[in-house]
């Protein structure tokens, strides 16, 4: 059976989606950090700091950072909590390689391990992690429910999952400006700074196809996470969802 899913606004075979997502991130890997700063006017740095604040990390936590890419979240945790053990992981070799090189160059690798893996099929035992983070990664999964359920399985009792992801703005005027920016400026920025407008067109489309705040909260509850809640940032352009494993 060739079930269908979305790759941005395109309908594709489920079995092909991760290949297309892989092509996007291989293409953007070298310019990923510069583009992030340019697109968000540097705000993504603050959003990631807030995620770490909300995570209430403890000194010797074992932490899984899924879709870690170039490692922003792992870097903040590693610097603030040097006694934690952090698994920086990504499905894409080129992104993970950028993250690992950066961890070595910027000297935050001492408590980090690196592992190429698919967040939908985690190669870890049940009850392994105190904390799982995923920043701007879930949107790209083929089967988000499967990924969330794997995350829940790998959390220890009382462990926490934090999901940082684009979401739905809660103000109509703001939403119109944001749409204009996403579909007119983002692809042009991509073309100008990274010679790649298509990947940034995918970014804008994939954000619109991603479940909104309430839906994602419901999906987290459906896999058995408890006390699920979310915090809107920048009018809901981005949201941080938190769920606990009881």
Location of structure tokens 């035992």: 125
Please say which residue, 135 or 243, places its beta carbon nearer to ligand SAM: 135
Compute the distance between CA of residue 49 and CA of residue 28 in angstroms, rounded to an integer: 23
Least separation, in Å, of the C-beta of 184 and ligand SAM? 21
**How near is the Cβ of 136 to ligand SAM at its closest, in Å?**
4
CA 67 to chain centre: 6
H or E stretch covering 234:
none
Tokens for 112?
């980090």
Residue facing ligand SAM at closest CB distance: 69
- To ligand SAM, the closest distance from the beta carbon of 65 in angstroms equals 7
Q: Give the residue with the Cβ less far from ligand SAM, 140 or 149.
A: 140
Provide the binding-site residues for ligand SAM, judged by CB under 6 A.
21, 25, 66-70, 72-73, 90-92, 95, 118-120, 135-137, 140-141
| Six-digit token string for 124 | 């870890």
Nearest approach, Cβ of 14 to ligand SAM (angstroms)?
A: 12
Q: Quick one: 59 or 105, whose CB is closer to ligand SAM?
A: 105
23 or 212: CB nearest ligand SAM: 23
User: At 94, phi and psi to the nearest 5?
Assistant: -65, -40
Q: How far is the CB of 138 from ligand SAM (least distance, A)?
A: 8
Whether the CB-CB separation of 131 and 57 falls below 8 Å is answered with yes
Phi, psi of 152 (to 5 degrees): -60, -45
Angle at which helices 32-40 and 14-28 pack, to 10 degrees?
90
Closer residue to ligand SAM in complex, CB, 118/130: 118
């Amino acid at each position: 059976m060739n079930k269908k899913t979305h790759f941005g606004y395109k309908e594709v075979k489920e079995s092909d989606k991760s290949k297309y997502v892989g092509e996007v991130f291989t293409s953007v890997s070298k310019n990923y950090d510069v583009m992030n700063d340019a697109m968000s006017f540097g705000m993504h740095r603050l959003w990631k700091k807030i995620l770490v604040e909300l995570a209430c990390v403890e000194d010797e936590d074992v932490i899984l950072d899924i879709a870690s890419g170039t490692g922003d979240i792992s870097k903040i945790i590693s610097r603030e909590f040097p006694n934690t053990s952090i698994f920086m992981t990504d499905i894409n070799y080129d992104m993970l390689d950028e993250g690992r090189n950066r961890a070595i160059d910027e000297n935050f690798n001492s408590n980090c391990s690196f592992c190429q893996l698919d967040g939908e099929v985690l190669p870890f035992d049940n009850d392994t992690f105190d904390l799982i983070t995923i920043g701007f990664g879930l949107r790209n999964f083929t089967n988000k429910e499967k990924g969330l359920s794997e995350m829940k399985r790998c959390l220890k009792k009382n462990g926490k999952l934090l999901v940082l992801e684009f979401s739905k703005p809660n103000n109509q005027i703001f939403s119109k400006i944001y749409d204009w920016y996403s579909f007119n400026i983002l692809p042009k920025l991509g073309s100008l700074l990274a010679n790649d407008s298509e990947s940034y067109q995918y970014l804008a489309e994939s954000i619109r196809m991603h479940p909104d705040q309430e839906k994602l909260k419901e999906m987290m509850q459906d896999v058995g996470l408890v006390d699920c809640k979310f915090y809107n940032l920048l009018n809901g352009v981005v949201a941080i969802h938190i769920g606990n494993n009881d």
